[in-house]
Amino acid sequence: MAGPSFARTRRRVSEAAGLMWPLLGACLWAAVVGYKPVIIVHGLFDSSDDFKNLQRFINESHPGTNVTVIDLFDRGASLEPMWKQVEGFKAAIYPIMQNAADGVHFICYSQGGLVCRGILSILPDHNVHSFISLSAPQAGQYGDTDYLKYLFPQFVKSNLFHLCYTAIGQRVSICNYWNDPHHRDMYVNTSDYLALINSERPNPNSTEWKENFLKIQKLVLIGGPDDGVITPWQSSQFGFYDDNETVIEIQHQDLYLRDVFGLKTLAARGDLFFCTVPGVVHVWWHSNETVFHTCIEKWLV
Ligand SMILES: *[C@@H]1O[C@H](CO)[C@@H](O)[C@H](O)[C@H]1NC(C)=O
Ligand SMILES: *[C@@H]1O[C@H](CO)[C@@H](O)[C@H](O)[C@H]1NC(C)=O
Ligand SMILES: *[C@@H]1O[C@H](CO)[C@@H](O)[C@H](O)[C@H]1NC(C)=O
Ligand SMILES: *[C@@H]1O[C@H](CO)[C@@H](O)[C@H](O)[C@H]1NC(C)=O
Ligand SMILES: *[C@@H]1O[C@H](CO)[C@@H](O)[C@H](O)[C@H]1NC(C)=O
Ligand SMILES: *[C@@H]1O[C@H](CO)[C@@H](O)[C@H](O)[C@H]1NC(C)=O
């Protein structure tokens, strides 16, 4: 962000205001050059109300930033199929992008991280600079969590494939990215969302989706071992179970090695970043100030 106009602003301000520089400088930066607008997409069972803290952190560190928390598919409606949510969020987000000549940033939490990846895949003229994926099950989900018990009390992780990998199951968002490592074939054949955007099931749009996705400038993958919901937690950083439930890290994942949707290209470009924070449970990622300062703040310029 220390471009030439920033340096000029700084000289003028420090002559005039001495110690007031940091605050004034930040305000001037926002007024003159402008922080890019930030778009936030929520996750399963939550809503825009849950992001008050994150909005406050952004406002305090980058005053003047225009932050929009998209208020769609709240609470129970977040169980709608992923493609439907992608279309809905895309329609709400597109005008904001068109108003932002210098581009926007995405902060996408939990299931919202997969919604955002869908949008970035199908939208050819998006202008997202930083795509910040905040504890999102990017490689899928396979775990006995409270969410699972609540949604499907009759099922546990080992038998949920009976429901999820059917046409009916695929009408529920969580089944769209349910990734049972013991039924890999069924996942690849029936997942209508994750297996497609990961190009694990061949589809005619893969090449175009990859080109679109690679228009982001930075991919920031945030997660941590005490999350408690995303399972395995490494899924937030594209790690996942093999058929022995041993976690294979991103660098050894087939979809990375074959660069099917651009991860390896991003890494080669120097635009792939990981931020791993212990001690944060799932529902706290967006409200933890340490996480904001360590993993998010620096990408919002
Ligand atoms: C941002 O911070 C300013 C100054 O503290 C405050 O007046 C304003 O209401 C805040 N805006 C939001 C959206 O929180
Ligand atoms: C913030 O962005 C939204 C969406 O582009 C726009 O409608 C609104 O006017 C902007 N607010 C400010 C204060 O610029
Ligand atoms: C998945 O699809 C392939 C190709 O259509 C087929 O050969 C295979 O039997 C299917 N597997 C399952 C478990 O449905
Ligand atoms: C590919 O894209 C076209 C139009 O963009 C769409 O109609 C089609 O359903 C997509 N294919 C898949 C497999 O999603
Ligand atoms: C799974 O574990 C068994 C026993 O530890 C081992 O023999 C086998 O090679 C493992 N499979 C994979 C895919 O790692
Ligand atoms: C915030 O994150 C830090 C780790 O960076 C952790 O030690 C702390 O317990 C967290 N606080 C909450 C409320 O999650």
What pLDDT is stored for residue 5 in this prediction? 38
- Closest C-alpha to ligand 2, atom 2: 66
* Residue 207 near ligand 3, beta carbon < 6 Å: no
- Closest C-alpha to ligand 6, atom 7: 279
- Closest C-alpha to ligand 5, atom 3: 244
**Over the stretch 175-215, which tens digit does the pLDDT of each residue have?**
999 999 999 999 999 999 999 999 999 999 999 999 999 99
What pLDDT is stored for residue 49 in this prediction? 86
User: Residue 295: which residues within 8 A CB-CB, separation 6 or more?
Assistant: 132, 220, 222, 275, 277
104-109 and 38-41: which strand pairing?
parallel
Contact 136, 114 (CB under 8 A): yes
As a whole number, the mean pLDDT across the chain is 90
* Residue 86 near ligand 4, beta carbon < 6 Å: no
What pLDDT is stored for residue 78 in this prediction? 93
Give every residue of the chain whose pLDDT is below 50, as ranges.
Answer: 1-19
What pLDDT is stored for residue 32 in this prediction? 53
What pLDDT is stored for residue 28 in this prediction? 52
All structural domains of the chain, each given as residue ranges with its CATH number in brackets, are 1-34 (no CATH), 35-299 (3.40.50.1820)
User: Considering the entire predicted model, what is its pTM?
Assistant: 0.89
Nearest to 54 by CA among 68, 35, 74: 68
Residue 227 a catalytic site member:
yes
247-248 and 240-241: which strand pairing?
antiparallel
* Residue 96 near ligand 3, beta carbon < 6 Å: no
